[in-house]
Amino acid sequence: MDHSHSHRERQEVVGIIGGGISGLLACKYLKSKGFDPIVFEAHTTIGGVWSKVSSTTFLQSPKPIYSFSDYPWPSSSSECPSQLQVMEYVMGYAHHFNLLKHIKFNSLVQGIEYDGPEDEGEMKSWDLWGGNGEPFRANAKWKVLVKNTINDSSEVYRVDFVILCIGRFSDVANIPEFEEKKGPEVFKGKVMHSMEFTSMDDQTAAEFVKGKNVTVVGFQKYAVDIAMQCSQVNGEKYPCKMLYKTEHWCMPDLAPWGIPLPFLYFTRFSELLVHKPGQSFFHTLIATTLSPLRWALSKFVESYVKRKQRLAKFGMVPKQSFLRDLSASKIFITPEKFYDRVEEGSIILKKSPSFWFDEEGVVVEGESTPLKADLVIFATGFKSDHKLRDIFVSPTFQNLIMGSPDAAVPLYRECINPEIPQVAVIGFSESLSNLYTSEMRCRWVAEFLSGKFKLPSIKEMKKDMEKWDKYMKEYSGNYYRRSSIAALHIWYNDQLCKDMGWSPRRKKGLLAELFEPYGPMDYSSN
C-alpha cells in the first residue's frame, strides 16, 4: 500500500522546536500522518546534544535499545558507538526520511505566545483539554517568535500546535550559588561550565588544560569525561581534582558478571518487582512478595561494580542501592581505565559536602589548606526546567509548566500538560535510552494529532500524574524531580500502546514476553 496517498494532506500547521533527536522523530512521524511540520533549530546542524559533546564521549545505552525502530545501525558501527558514529547514524536517519527540508536552521525560538479567544481565567473552567479534548481548535493558535541567529532579524510564525523538543542537557547551565565574597569573583583563575568546555574541539581543549591545575566539580557523565581528558593531557604532574557530594553507581560496562543489563532490568519480569503507578492488587502482591529478589538483583549488580572498579579501595561505594540510581537515571559508564588514573594519582577524588572559592583556588569544608587551582569546571548539569518555563511568554503558562516544586514536572504521559492547550513536550523526561523513549512518545503524539484517540478529562489526567509522581518519589528518592521512567519502561509503553489501540504485548509466547528484554524493534510496526 502506498502510504503517501493513504493520508490526506493535513491543513493544520505544527511547529517543532528543536532539531535534536526528539525533534527529528516528531517531524518524521507527523510527516507519516500527512502533516507538513516546521522544525526550528537554533544551530547550524541537527543532532542536538550529540553535536556538542567531545569526541571522547561514547554512547551510554546498550546499542540495541538506542536505535530507531525502522532504521537499524549500520553493521560497521562499533559496540559502543562514538560521538561521530552517533552523529552519522542520526544524519543517515534524517536523509533517509527526507527530514532536512522541514528544518529551519539558525532559527532561535525566543518564546511562544497563545493566541486564542479566551482569557486565561476562562480556561481554568475547562473540563477537557483545550476545552474539547482535541489537539486543534478552530480559532486558537500559538505565535512562535523566531530570531535568525545570523542576521538578527525576527519573524513570527502562527501554528496550530507546538511540540517542544528542547532537550534536558544543554543551554541553561546549573551553577551553584555562593555566599558573598566566597564565589568565583574572588578567584584569580578561570571558572567555566562543562557546556563551554565540551564545545571546544579536542585539540583546543587539550591546549587549554595543558599544565594547569584543574578542578572539576561534579561526578556525573560530563565530569568524569572531562577529568579523563585532563588526566590524559597532564598526567600526575598536574593531577585533575574532582569534587563530588554523592557517590553513584557508575558501571564498568553493561554486563554485570556477564549478564547484559537489559536482561536484569528491561524485561516484564524485572518490572513485576517494582510497585507501579496504577497497578492492580495482584501486581501489588507480586511486587511485595518478590521484594527480596529486587534487593538481591541490586546486590548482584553492586557486587560486580564494587569488585571491578575497586570502589571500596577509593572510598567510592554509594550508600543508595543500584535500583535507586537506575530509577533516577543516574547510571553511566565509567570511561575505560578511569580508576587506574585514580590509582596512579592523575585524578584525585575529593568528597566535599560544600566548598567555596578563595584567591588561590577552592576551599573544601573541613579542610585547612585550600586546593590550588588555575581552572575550575562546573560539571553540575543544566536547569532544564527553566528552559522549558522560559519558552512561554505568559507567566500563567510558565507557572503551569513548572508545577509545584515538590512534584515532578506536570506532564500527562510525560508529554501533555493538562492545562496548556495545543502543546506537547517530548524528551524532557529521561530513561536509559532517550531515543527509544522519544520515539514512542512521538508516535503517540502523531496518533493523537491525527485523531486516533482523545485525551481523558483534565481531572483524570491529573489523577494519573499523581500516581506516577508517587512512584518517582518512592523509587528515585531525592532525585524525583528528574522525571525518569528508567525502571518502568515497558509499563510506561504499555499505557501509550493502549491509548493508541495497539496491543501492549509484543513478543511471541509467555516466556519471551516475561524474560526477553524489550527494545525499539519490538515496536517497529503497530
pLDDT surpasses 50 at 436:
yes
Q: Report pLDDT digits (tens) over 79-112.
A: 778 888 888 999 999 999 999 999 999 999 999 9
Task: Report the C-alpha gap between 290 and 294 in whole angstroms.
Answer: 6
pLDDT confidence of residue 432: 65
Q: Is residue 241 scored above 60 in pLDDT?
A: yes
| Cell numbers placing 25 | 522523530
Residue 4 has pLDDT above 60, yes or no: no
Average pLDDT over residues 495-506: 96
Of 141-155, 174-188, 311-325, 428-442, the one with minimum mean pLDDT is 428-442
Single-letter amino acid code for the residue at 483: S
- pLDDT tens for residues 301-357? 999 999 999 999 999 999 999 988 888 878 888 988 999 999 999 999 999 989 999
Answer for the pair 230, 302: CB distance below 8 angstroms, yes or no. Answer: no
Greatest alpha-carbon span in the chain? 75
Report the CATH fold assignment for 184-378: FAD/NAD(P)-binding domain (3.50.50)
Q: What percent of the chain has pLDDT over 70?
A: 94
The arithmetic mean of pLDDT across residues 422-442, rounded, is 85
Give the tens place of pLDDT for each residue, 503-516: 999 999 999 999 99
* Whole-number Cα distances in Å, 230 to 188, 238, 329, 380, 386: 20, 9, 26, 17, 31
Average pLDDT of the residues in 229-239: 94
pLDDT of residue 489 exceeding 90, the answer is: no
Structural contact between residues 250 and 371, judged by C-beta atoms closer than 8 angstroms: no
Range of lowest pLDDT (138-142, 152-156, 478-482): 478-482
Look up the pTM and report it: 0.88
The structural domains of the chain, with segments of one domain joined by +, span 13-170+383-523, 184-378
The two domains 13-170+383-523 and 184-378 share their CATH topology (first three levels equal): yes
DSSP string, 299-360: HHHHHHHHHHHTTGGGT---SS-HHHHHHTT--EEPPTTHHHHHHHTSEEEEE-S-EEE-SS
Query: What does the mean pLDDT of the chain come to?
Result: 89
pLDDT for residue 192: 94
pLDDT number for residue 483 = 62
- pLDDT at position 58 is 76
DSSP 464-485: HHHHHHHHHHHHHGGGGGG-B-
pLDDT bucket at 480, cuts 50 / 70 / 90: low
CATH homologous superfamily for 13-170+383-523? FAD/NAD(P)-binding domain (3.50.50.60)
User: Averaged over 286-294, what is the pLDDT?
Assistant: 93
Question: How does pLDDT run across 266-280, given as a tens digit for each residue?
Answer: 899 999 998 898 889
Let me know: does 255 contact 80? Beta carbons within 8 Å: no
Res. 65: pLDDT tops 90: no
Q: How confident is the model at residue 6 (pLDDT cuts 50, 70, 90)?
A: very low
